[in-house]
Amino acid sequence: MNRRSKFFPLLTLLIAIGLYTYNYYTSKKNHLKKTNTSEVNTTNSSSFNFLPSSTTGQIAKHNYYTLSYNELYEQAEWVAHQLKGSHITHNNRKRPYFIDDPKILSKSASYRNYKNSGYDRGHLCPAGDRKFSLEAFKETFYTSNISPQNHDFNTGIWNRLEQKTRYWAKKYEALYVITGGILTKNLKTIGKEHVAVPKYFYKILLDYTKPEIKAIAFLMLNKDSNKPLYNFVVSIDEIEKRTGIDFFPALPDALENKLEASSNYKNWSFR
């Protein structure tokens, strides 16, 4: 066998070994990078996507909250926002008029649908969560951010939950909050645009700060109640079944499954 015939098999072997080594270490590096990114992102809201899925594809991203609008029911199926302890202020801000949301291509339902309906224009992202900035406060008065709520419910048990959420935001430093009505067929409607009146409202809270990442979900009938808030705790899985929405789909699967299956509220302070 001459030198050339010996050289080519050796060269082929060396190339194969080189490619195998490159692919192995590249794959390992990417795996570690993905794992580390997951660990960092679950504690850093600025670099992680906490948004739920959208059943409509009509997502409107505002400066201080994001929502998914459902034209069929003329309201958001969810509104999501970050709430830090530092956001909680007692600034006395004048309530502006409700206006149409310019980012809803199909046009958000007018506030006039609520007139003489017997229902409040219930905020989904509460105005009280956004008093730290006049711009942020005004954003909550887009009509895409409201849903018909029983007055006693809005000023009663629902208000208690909103206040407790602000308490937890200060206690745990920061939360991610997702709120909406359960939108199903054959709901009562109000106004010329037939705005649906949800029978139930939900609120989901994610405490994404280490060392303990935890979540809690509430499901409430659209009427007032004197029961303690923890009586309304359900699993996130339960709300997913009722809405068809996938909450926190970008979380690592193991963490998402653990958080969403639990209805344990013992690690949340209800005092």
List residues with catalytic annotation. 123
Residue at token pair 């499901």 = 219
Structure tokens at 215: 């979540």
Contact 178, 203 (CB under 8 A): yes
CA pair distance 44, 54, nearest whole angstrom: 22
Tokens of 132: 């730290």
Q: 135: closest CA among 65, 68, 196?
A: 65
List, as one string, the DSSP characters of 133-156: -HHHHHHTTBGGGEEEEEHHHHHT
Contacts of 56 (CB under 8 A, 6+ apart): 68, 69, 70, 71, 77
